[in-house]
Structure 1
């Protein structure tokens, strides 16, 4: 995780949130899929709901 996201506490919070978001999305992904999620600096100030919406939107674009 990039230090531009914030200090270590904030980076860990974003990491945990993104891991939880992706865990919920895994059943909808094709078997054997490899996914990389990169946290950009604005993710440090995003709520869980905003991160979820962003990940869902990105995955829907990729899976079209």
Structure 2
């Protein structure tokens, strides 16, 4: 099912990677989520998880 949201563990992992590993600010993460029409990781469809993680990595790479 494409509409199934990511698990709480995946949401926590997304935020930890974004903040700690990628050094992104919350507003930058929220901007990427907004690109995909997602207002909260609670509503992030599981099928978009990898794509959004890749986009977050692109944003972090662009800042250096």
User: Who wins on radius of gyration, i.e. which is larger?
Assistant: 1
Shorter-chain TM range is 0.3 to 0.5
In the superposition, the TM-score normalised over structure 2's length comes to: 0.41
